[in-house]
Structure 1
């Protein structure tokens, strides 16, 4: 090609989006609120307490339309959170079902619209997302998007105890669902920018937690960083840290080891070899205690 034409048809720069992953009741709402205060656009359709007849104790900060579609996806896939099959793996063939492809197109159209309206960094949070990451990977590839993945972590015993009570499901089912969510969070975040954020650290050392998150998002402007820091501090409510695990709550070895690995990652210690060893233990996900 002649030099004068070089670069005229170069590909447009890929946009980044932020996706918050994690299990239900694991601090994803607090994390989504924090990144919104730090400048990440969550769109105009987020779920707050005002959206419910019986208001929850906190705002969910989930994109209402994405959540509605993802509920339908999980029901179609027979992986809805209150079903016995909720934590089962999803076969590759499932993603090619006509109903699934139609809902994928709905999600892609939402993302296109949101990105057109948000000139800066856009993102979304929904605990359902991690089970649907193969679908999201297709969407991001087709729209030329690069994900930045935030994994909100909270202990399996605490989350499973809380989720079993609120969702009226057996504790072992809730524990298996925790394990599947975080196993797939690691599986589908490999090779992408990611940060594990420990929910309990917001209450133990929120300043360090904030700095790690701000660094990850690239919030470098000193004035904006200081202003966001003050807003995040005002939104950390110790009253939300209520549930604790029963002392005799059973935890399977795979769950315990997965949690330990994620805690090390949340403390800044990546261990690729340990992660690979844990990924090789997928067969244990379906084993009961």
Structure 2
């Protein structure tokens, strides 16, 4: 059963442990810093968010339970993780806080136990700091704040690659997170750390964090250094740009430029009054603009959410149609297999007929030779023997002509079967086009093109390597083989995979 404590009461537990709270925007190096302090002795939760391919392969290093809790808090306050508006300040005084406080304390008790030194990280906490500060007071934990700062253009490039966000949305998200984290931790034990600084010289950075926050690293050892060196591979830092570029970039708001410049200054020396005043002014202007635009933005988000729902419905319909297409494809494969079996049977019959023909011809020739020998012995006249030989040869020729005509008939039958299979492939191509709701020549967006190609590949209808080997002209185009089949091959009746229909050629080589 969850604990129940009022978030604003004064019944704090005595401080018995220390937590390093890493506060930064998504894609700002929070995972790297959290893992480094973990190597140096700060405990993390046992159940962490799993690494994601093409996202954070080395790990997020954040508690899965804490992330879910923060998602629930944001939802209960009418927000979400990618919302750059200010989180509803009235939520922190609302009755629901008790329930979430109890959940947070239960999570910490389970994740941390009796550990005296641990680290916590989730970018969502930047917007929920009043809540978490109160939770740590109840938990008896002294908080040391580490605020990683990364170039907002790098953050925007990373979010565009991962989530498809535009530059404006990404940089405003960055601005909201860094402003909230800075304002809430002012005059508290904190240190600003540049992400590039950590990657270029983590030892100097860690010593600066320890000196600023009055910390001792319990696991600073040769083994820990080797682990950190292996972990901090600067080759994994994508979308790198100059730290000074945002000051001159034409597409960034003045708020972002000013805030980034001030935060770079605080990385060098915290507490500079002029820089803090700049950040305070930016935050006031940003909050005022968000307040005035909030209703309009909410309406726009509602409209977009409806559109997203419609797209989800269309996706479900497409998935259903794809399932039907796969079923139809299996039926076509069954029919093709039956035709191939008939081809194999016809080929076997043809080979048997050829074998019998050869044996009959050999027997006839042998018999003819014997007859000639007997006739040569019986007659003394060379002319008579020559006439007999000619008559026998003509008879054999007639039989051979008859057999050849029979071979021609069998060859024509096989050609007709080939034409049936070719027609079948054309019908299959048309069926695929219909099931994918695509007409040859119809303009395709890159997204739809990619989705149709993925479905063709998943259906197994095409053997891409065989297709390129079969059709050199398709290979010469440089197109993806599945895309070439979609746009040209299906309509032209090209085979997407080996149908083993080379009967006539095999006979020619036999």
* Matched residue, 1:35: 37
Counterparts of 1:38-77 in structure 2, within 5 Å, are: 38-49=40-51, 56-77=56-77
Contact map agreement 2:71 2:81 (CA 8 A) in 1 = no
The partner residue of 1:201 within 197, 202, 222 is 197
Cα distance in 1 for residues equivalent to 2:56 and 2:157? 18
TM-score of the two chains, using structure 2 as the length reference: 0.49
Post-superposition offset of 1:99: 4.2
Counterparts of 1:204-283 in structure 2, within 5 Å, are: 204-215=200-211, 216=213, 218-219=215-216, 224-244=220-240, 250-283=251-284
Cα distance in 2 for residues equivalent to 1:165 and 1:75? 25
* Matched residue, 1:25: 27
More helix by share: 2
* Matched residue, 1:284: 285
Range that drifts further, 277-286 or 258-267: 277-286
Q: 1:91 to 1:170 in 2, by over 3 A?
A: same
Post-superposition offset of 1:284: 2.6
The partner residue of 1:160 within 156, 161, 169 is 156
* CA displacement 1:227-255 (0-9 Å, x = unmatched): 43332222111222111359756222221
Contact map agreement 1:17 1:121 (CA 8 A) in 2 = yes
Post-superposition offset of 1:53: 8.5
Cα distance in 2 for residues equivalent to 1:207 and 1:142? 33
Contact map agreement 2:43 2:112 (CA 8 A) in 1 = no
More strand by share: 1
Post-superposition offset of 1:185: 1.1
TM-score of the two chains, using structure 1 as the length reference: 0.83
Contact map agreement 2:45 2:62 (CA 8 A) in 1 = no
Cα distance in 2 for residues equivalent to 1:54 and 1:25? 13
Range that drifts further, 240-249 or 161-170: 240-249
* Matched residue, 1:143: 139
Post-superposition offset of 1:31: 0.5
Post-superposition offset of 1:260: 1.5
Structure 2 gap ranges (5+): 1-12, 291-510
Q: 1:71 to 1:245 in 2, by over 3 A?
A: farther
Cα distance in 2 for residues equivalent to 1:220 and 1:93? 39
Range that drifts further, 244-253 or 254-263: 244-253
Cα distance in 1 for residues equivalent to 2:35 and 2:154? 22
Contact map agreement 1:79 1:87 (CA 8 A) in 2 = no
Post-superposition offset of 1:142: 2.6
Post-superposition offset of 1:136: 0.9
Post-superposition offset of 1:181: 0.5
Cα distance in 2 for residues equivalent to 1:156 and 1:110? 32
Post-superposition offset of 1:200: 0.9
Secondary structure of the residue aligned to 1:280 is: helix
Secondary structure of the residue aligned to 1:22 is: coil
Contact map agreement 1:21 1:151 (CA 8 A) in 2 = yes
Cα distance in 2 for residues equivalent to 1:110 and 1:53? 27
The partner residue of 1:93 within 90, 112, 120 is 90
Contact map agreement 1:258 1:278 (CA 8 A) in 2 = yes
Q: Per chain length, whose mean CA-contact separation is higher, i.e. which structure has more relative contact order (CA < 8 Å, sep 6+)?
A: 1
> Is 1:175 aligned to 2:171, yes or no?
yes
Cα distance in 1 for residues equivalent to 2:166 and 2:55? 25
Contact map agreement 2:148 2:193 (CA 8 A) in 1 = yes
Cα distance in 1 for residues equivalent to 2:195 and 2:217? 23
Count of residue pairs the alignment pairs up: 271
Structure 1 gap ranges (5+): 1-10
Contact map agreement 2:67 2:122 (CA 8 A) in 1 = yes
Q: 1:77 to 1:12 in 2, by over 3 A?
A: closer
Counterparts of 1:7-22 in structure 2, within 5 Å, are: 12-22=14-24
Contact map agreement 2:15 2:142 (CA 8 A) in 1 = no
Contact map agreement 1:38 1:219 (CA 8 A) in 2 = no
* Matched residue, 1:134: 130
The partner residue of 1:110 within 95, 99, 107 is 107
